[in-house]
Structures are given as C-alpha cells and as structure tokens.
Structure 1
Amino acid sequence: MQKIFVLDTNVLLHDPMAIKSFHEHKVVIPMTVLEELDSIKDRKQKDVSREARIAISSIDNMLADATPKQMQVGVPIPSTESGTLSIFPDQLVSETIIGPFINASPQQNNDNRIINVSLTLQKQNPDAFICLITKDINMRIKAKGCGLENVEDYRKDKVLDDIDLLARGYVRVPGKFWDNVDSVETQRNQGKTIHRIPRGSVEDAYISMFIIDDEGFAGFVDHLDDEYLYLHDLGDGTLERQNSWGVKPRNMEQGMAMYLLTHPEIDLNIMTGPAGSGKTLLALASALEAIIEHKQYEKLIVARSTPPIAEDIGFLPGTEEEKMAPWLAAFEDNLEILHGGDESPFSSIDYVKEKANIQFKSLNFMRGRSFNNSYVIIDEAQSLSQFQLKSIITRIGQNSKIVILGNLAQIDNHYINPLTSGLTYCVDKMKNFKHASIMHVNGIERSRLAAFAEENL
C-alpha cells in the first residue's frame, strides 16, 4: 500500500530534518506550511526562527533543480530508499473537490487548510494510506472529526516507550546483593577494592552506575566488558560521610549524586528528580569546592532554560547577568543556604561570586562559544529539545565539566513531553559513555510540606 504523509509546520520546527524520517514513502508539504515557515524565520525568538531556516534550506536543497511539475508529483529524498517530497498548492483546494471541508476561519485558517489538503489526498487516493503528522493535539482531534482516517503525532524523536524505563543511575537489590551472585573475584587496585562478578548478575548494567542493597552495600561500576562487571566497593558509610563546601548528603541518592559530581573522570553529570530533592544545591556546592578549594576550574557558568526568555530578556534593563537575575534567583537562594550561617552572609556571597567567577548566561547566547576550564551548570533542562541540548553540550571545551539538571514532571514546552525531552534523550544516549554519569535524586529534602505536595497534589 502506498503511504503518503502530510507534514504540519510544527513537525518541521520540532525536527527540521523530519522529511528524511519517512524512508520509502511519499512526503507532502502543503504550501501553507512553507508560508508559515517563511513568516517564522524572521521572528525574534531565535530558537524557532533558526529551526525554520534550517527546514527551509533543507527543502530548497531537495527541490532546487526540480521543475514545477516535478515538485507537485514528487522529487526523490536523499539518503532514503525511494522516498519522495512534493509540494501541494493547497490554495486550489475547495469544497467542490472534497466532501468534508473546513471553512478557513481567521483564527484557524492555516490549520484548516492543511487538514483540507489531507482530506483531498484521501479522496484522490482511496487505496493509499494518507496520514497527517502534527504535534498539535487539537488539530489531530479536528482532523479525525472531519473524516481523516489517519492522524498521528511525530514519534521519531520518542526516546522510550515508557518513562519508567529511563535509566536512574542505580539499581536497588532487595535483601542482600551477594545472595544473587554466583561467583566473585576480589582484588585491591590502587587503594580500591574491586569485585569482578559475571555481567549477568545485574541486568542492563552500564558504566558509572551504582548497585545498592538493603544491607548497606554500595558498589560502583568502575568498568565492564562482555563477560564481567568490575565493582568498586565503596564500603560502609562512604557515601554518607562525603562533604562538599559544607554540604553533606541527607539520603542515599544525594550521596551517590555527590560521589559522581566529584568523580575526576566524569565530564558530564545528568541529575534528574523532583523539586526539592537538592539537585541545584549539590551541583552548586560541588562547583564551589572544585573551583575555590581545589583550583580545578577557572569559572562557574550558570544557565537556565526558561521559555519566555528569548522574548523577555531584551526588554529588561542592565547587563546580561542583570537580565538573567529573575530566572536565576534559585541559585541566589542556594548561595544563601550555603552561607546563611556566616557572620556576614551577604559579604560571603559576594566574595564567593567573585572568587568562583560566577557568570550567569542565557542559553540563547551560548551557541557558537567554547567553554574551557569551566564548570557549567544547566538548570531546568527538561524543556530543552534534543537539538538544543546537543548544541549546548558540544560547547564544552578542554578541562571542563557540565552538570545538567531537570525534573521531567515540570515540562513547560508545548511540543515536548517526558518521552521526547532532550533531557530524556541525553540520559538514554549518554549512559554508556565512560565519562558521563546519571543520577535520579528522589528524596524530597526541601521541607515536609514540599514532600507532601510532590506526592499528593
């Protein structure tokens, strides 16, 4: 059966290269989509306008040498088996051509014209599979209500089938871990106790993950091969006794997170977890310890994802740091926690800011830069797309560490959900990289009220 996919504008904004994702099938782009991309490419919202330009450039590269007739019939899509791309002049669609027809109301004009294109193709190709691809939920409902048989969300960027399958950075074994291990070989290596156990003893194991049990055992996957896991035995109470810039872990998850943050071989730390679990405080404390006490880095760069930032930051007075202040108040709060007990808290905070060379940056101005000798913290990363997070991580230069924080329950991007978030994508792709780590910090330590609200509201 021939398959024809009609793409909505938001699909190309979400993934500018989406056209190449439909393999041997036919992709149709309504003229209205090109018009919307044209109007979006000059917007002040840099992320969206950039993706619109990339999509337009991609379409132009494919259709540059095509005749008008070829553009309407279909032009081969590069790097696909036999897929084709065509442009549909939807301005020619009228009620006399198709049965169900949505009138073009001023508020829904473009959406309705795109739906009408799909309905036209469905009538003209009764034996084909016609499918409208859109990330707009209401548009999917409207299209089905008008008689369109197949309407789907764009799912290529879906990382997992179930968010519960997302790596957490550790495995908790009920009872005693060693009861489930058939054989073990233990040796001392550079002051560390390393246990070599069969890889099948722990399902889906990956490097830099923890194995803990109910008896107090804590093992860290130092390295692994096809047959064995090599566990670094951390000993009783090692995780709980850690201290970074005066901060001590309050639970096992925080202890594991602090161990990873201070590990010398890890360049990328990803920390997920609910609000109030201590992610930001742990990251900030570890950064100050590394920069001021151990002189490992020269500066601390702090950035945060906030959807309105692209539009609103330009209207606020002052420097970039002053403009960023409303969105980065969380770091100021955590600095007060770290130095609230000092004799002169505000003087201590100002001293730390200067000594650690703390710089607050907008994510919009991080692209194109290279950060060397830097400790970089990206907060609220759950609303970033896969493309955005990749563009940030690739900015990290020599002798630098990046810590990415996020709570997948607090996504405020209309076109991203926990299964398609850049944070989820990063966790899934980075878990097997030996210089990256993942930790889900679950306990709510902010207050008893915050813990109750997180579970019950």
Structure 2
Amino acid sequence: MKKIYVLDTNVLLQDPQSIFSFQDNEVVIPAVVLEEVDSKKRYMDEIGRNARHVSKLIDGLRQEGKLHEKIPLYNGGSLRIELNHRSFQQLQDIFVEKTNDNRILAVAKNLSLEEETKNEGKSVILVSKDTLVRVKADALGLQAEDFLSDRVVDVSDVYSGFLEIYLQRELLDKFYESGELALSEVTHQPFYSHQFLIMKDALGSSASAIGMVESSGKFVRKLVYDQDHIWGIKPRNVQQIMATELLLRDDLPLVTMVGKAGTGKTLLALAAGLLQTEDLKTYNKLLVARPIVPVGKDIGYLPGEKQEKLRPWMQPIYDNLEYLFNTKKPGEIDDILAGMASIEVEALTYIRGRSIPDQFIIIDEAQNLTKHEVKTILTRVGERSKIVLMGDPGQIDHPYLDEYNNGLTYVVEKFKEQKVAGHIKLLKGERSGLAQLAADLL
C-alpha cells in the first residue's frame, strides 16, 4: 500500500533532491516548511545553497500542475504543498507553543487522522533529521523516520582500508623472501586496490607481515616506505605505518584518513607534506586548510586582518607545526613560516575558483564538509598535486551531517575502488593515555 511522507525542513536542506527518494509514494511539504526554506536562502553557505536549490526545484515543478494539488514526479510518486490540515486542536493540550516544528507535527497528525477515516487510508509518516521532532511525533502516536537515503554507507559497512587475515607459515616465509604473494594463494576474497593486509601466522606464532594490494588487485606486496621517521616523527602503531605508506607514495593523488582525536592524523600528514615539499622537492608548496565550523556557540566576528581572523580557527594546525619545528618561543613559528614561502595555512572559505597544481594539500576536519563542498575541493586539485582528506566522523559540528552522510565518508566510499586513492582508519590514540581514554569513554 502506498504511503504519505511529510517532510521536515531539515530533510530538504540536507538533500534538495530528497523529494525523489520515496519511490511511488506521496510526498507532502507543509507550507511552513516553505517559509523556513525561504528564511535560509540568503545564507552564503551550504544551507543557503540547498535552500535556493529547493526553491528552484519546486518552482520548476509548477509546470506540471498546481502545487497544492498532486503533481506527478518522474519516479512514479507525487508531490503536493499542504495548505490545509493546519489546525492546532490535536496538539494544543500537549505542545502549547505554536513553533514551526509543532506546526509541521500538526499537519502530519491531521493528515493521519483524516486517512484513518477512509476505508483504504494510507499510512502517514513524518520524515525528519531532528531527533526531538521524531520523539514528539512518537508521543502523538505518529510514525516518524530519519531520512537515511543521504547515507553513503550502512553502519556496519564502513571501509577501514585494511584487513587482518591468517596464513600458513610457509606463505609468510615466501612473502618475506620474495616481497609479494599472489592474492589467489592467500584467499579468494576480493580486495580493493591499495587495501592493506595484516598477515598473521595461523598457528599462533608471533610471525606477521604487512602488505598492500597493488593496483591490479592480483598481488599483495611489501610496503615501499619503511622509514624510521618522517621529519622527526616515527610511526607508533601498525595503522600509522600504513598511513605513512599512503602519504609518501606519489602514485596516490588522493589519500583519506579517519580516526578518533589523538590518533596522529594531522601530525603524520604535516610531517609527510614537509618531507616531500622541503626535503624531496616533490611538490612546490604545502597547503593546509580546514573548514570554519565552530564547536559550541560561535564567538562572532573577529578583529584584524585576514591572517589575524584565521589564526584562532587554524591554531590546531599551528600547534602541530610548532611540535614539528620544535619551537620554544612565542611567535617563533610565525617567523619560520614567513621565511618559508612554500607553506600556506588557509581556510577552505577561499578555495572556490582556485586551481592548485604541484602542491601537497591537507584538508583537516573534513568530516564537517558536505558532499557538495568536498566535490568543490577535489575538483580544485591540479596536475601533479596530492590531496589528503582527514577527520573524525564521530566528531561532527555541522547541524545536518552525521557519521554516515558527511563529505569525508562520502569520498572514502566513492573512491575505495579507484586506483588513484588509498584509505586508512587509525585506531589507536597516541596523544596521551588520558586522551585515548576520553575518546573511548566519552
């Protein structure tokens, strides 16, 4: 039986194409949702862009008929703007305030009551990214669902970039001697290009080896870069060794790294970038950028010139650079960077329209990027450049993103089968015992 889906504003602002995600069912947009979308369309950010996209999309659908009546969608479903069913009578004893959320709930509740009076009434389902709206709907006896079509991966299928397998000791010895094994000898399980294998002795001895699946997907080979340190930084665990391999290989123009706070993502990427920019001269410049998304309440406008305004947002980058350059005095890192024109620390706000060739590009906190923003960034990468996207999908400050629909996860999933990309999930925190415990417990 067909259903009626009532959409909350946040669904449209997260994915303007969401109205086409409900197959042949009826999609209802309350009039108050259009008002909320209209209030956002002047924003000069991703939310504003999506609001303008939704406005143009719905305006284009006017060619198909009157919006307050059912108009057909190309996927077999229908759409209508709900102007009636706004009575607050059913909610006034429970939710007194006539907020926009409560008005959307009222539309869904009244539609549901109307369908119940029909012989073959449809189920009415409220779709919202807002947890409390779904809780309120449940209190009213309404069906409510999160919008999950924007998720690029299921919870259980997040790609880690490595796999642990157990082999006979003879195969491990062969790998030590020749430096490679045919994957057909190891397992018949399919692997992605540049996926790591942690190979252990099936009989339980301490013998083990790390290999990487090469581009053709037929062989697993020893790691190319087995360095003691990079710019003074020594990998401390097996995932950091894998990350080092990805960061130093010039045949991988795209590297993604995910991990909790303190796993060493930023420090390793900066060390690899400095090595290849300053020492090896593989790239002309090291560009480090991060999105401007505050944690908690925004502090508002900041005084000073551009660099002074950016400094508080970029301070985590400077902290790592101070560690790498072993600076002791206040302001010493600024003097060093001023004398090294090959290092640039920038906000992502200024990346649109640029073309960035011959550079080692690091994008920190990429989990706060939307799919559209991450596409904008990757399409800026020029010839002979390498870009590293990293972040913790478990720490997202963007109001409409979660662990499974953010730009970083999107890139990981879309590029895991591509030969130009490599990915690793860092597991062990190395900042301090307290930081690791906090990441695990809190």
TM-score normalised by structure 1 residue count: 0.85
For 2:50, the aligned partner's letter is E
In structure 2, the residue matched to 1:57 is 56
In structure 1, the residue matched to 2:151 is 158
How far, CA to CA, are the matches of 2:441 and 2:133 in structure 1?
32
CA RMSD of aligned residues (A): 3.1
Q: How far off is 1:266 after superposition?
A: 0.5
Asked if the contact 1:324–1:360 (Cα under 8 Å) also holds between the matched residues in 2, the reply is no
How far, CA to CA, are the matches of 1:446 and 1:397 in structure 2?
34
Asked if the contact 2:64–2:72 (Cα under 8 Å) also holds between the matched residues in 1, the reply is no
How far, CA to CA, are the matches of 1:185 and 1:249 in structure 2?
22
* Aligned pair partner of 1:212 in 198, 201, 208: 198
1:390-405 alignment to 2 at 5 Å? 390-405=375-390
Q: How far off is 1:203 after superposition?
A: 3.2
In structure 2, the residue matched to 1:316 is 302
Q: How far off is 1:3 after superposition?
A: 1.5
Rate the CA distance shift 1:56–1:74 in 2: closer, same or farther, 3 A. same
Aligned residue-pair number = 432
How far, CA to CA, are the matches of 1:185 and 1:48 in structure 2?
52
SS at match of 2:112: helix
Show structure 1 runs of 5+ residues with no match.
none
* Aligned pair partner of 1:298 in 270, 277, 284: 284
How far, CA to CA, are the matches of 2:327 and 2:394 in structure 1?
33
Q: How far off is 1:180 after superposition?
A: 9.6
For 1:58, the aligned partner's letter is L
Show structure 2 runs of 5+ residues with no match.
201-206
Q: Does 1:419 align with 2:433?
A: no
Rate the CA distance shift 1:174–1:200 in 2: closer, same or farther, 3 A. closer
Asked if the contact 1:269–1:402 (Cα under 8 Å) also holds between the matched residues in 2, the reply is yes
Asked if the contact 1:10–1:134 (Cα under 8 Å) also holds between the matched residues in 2, the reply is yes
- CA deviation map 1:190-209 (0-9, x unaligned): xxx44323187163411111
How far, CA to CA, are the matches of 1:119 and 1:152 in structure 2?
14
Rate the CA distance shift 1:326–1:6 in 2: closer, same or farther, 3 A. same
For 1:450, the aligned partner's letter is A
Asked if the contact 1:176–1:213 (Cα under 8 Å) also holds between the matched residues in 2, the reply is no
How far, CA to CA, are the matches of 1:320 and 1:233 in structure 2?
46
Q: Does 1:434 align with 2:433?
A: no
For 2:369, the aligned partner's letter is L
Q: How far off is 1:32 after superposition?
A: 0.6
* Aligned pair partner of 1:171 in 122, 141, 163: 163
How far, CA to CA, are the matches of 1:55 and 1:103 in structure 2?
34
In structure 1, the residue matched to 2:86 is 93
Percent identity between the aligned chains? 37
Q: Name which of structure 1's ranges 358-367 and 135-144 shifts more when overlaid on structure 2.
A: 358-367
In structure 1, the residue matched to 2:129 is 135
Rate the CA distance shift 1:89–1:289 in 2: closer, same or farther, 3 A. same
- CA deviation map 1:181-229 (0-9, x unaligned): 9xx99998xxxx443231871634111111123423121111235xxx2
Asked if the contact 1:104–1:113 (Cα under 8 Å) also holds between the matched residues in 2, the reply is no
* Aligned pair partner of 1:230 in 219, 227, 234: 219
* Aligned pair partner of 2:189 in 188, 203, 212: 203
Rate the CA distance shift 1:140–1:409 in 2: closer, same or farther, 3 A. same
For 1:25, the aligned partner's letter is N
In structure 1, the residue matched to 2:358 is 373
Q: How far off is 1:411 after superposition?
A: 2.1
Q: How far off is 1:13 after superposition?
A: 0.7
How far, CA to CA, are the matches of 1:323 and 1:75 in structure 2?
49
How far, CA to CA, are the matches of 1:170 and 1:89 in structure 2?
53
- CA deviation map 1:87-132 (0-9, x unaligned): 1114x62257xxx334797965211111111122222323212111
- CA deviation map 1:52-103 (0-9, x unaligned): 111111111122x245xx322211223x2x121111114x62257xxx3347
Q: How far off is 1:409 after superposition?
A: 2.5
Rate the CA distance shift 1:242–1:434 in 2: closer, same or farther, 3 A. farther
For 2:162, the aligned partner's letter is Y
Rate the CA distance shift 1:336–1:178 in 2: closer, same or farther, 3 A. farther
TM-score normalised by structure 2 residue count: 0.88
Q: How far off is 1:439 after superposition?
A: 0.8
In structure 2, the residue matched to 1:262 is 248
For 1:277, the aligned partner's letter is T
- CA deviation map 1:138-174 (0-9, x unaligned): 11111121232x21000101233325x3221111224
How far, CA to CA, are the matches of 1:252 and 1:95 in structure 2?
59
Q: How far off is 1:26 after superposition?
A: 1.5
Asked if the contact 2:223–2:245 (Cα under 8 Å) also holds between the matched residues in 1, the reply is no
- CA deviation map 1:259-299 (0-9, x unaligned): 11011111111111121111111100111111122222222
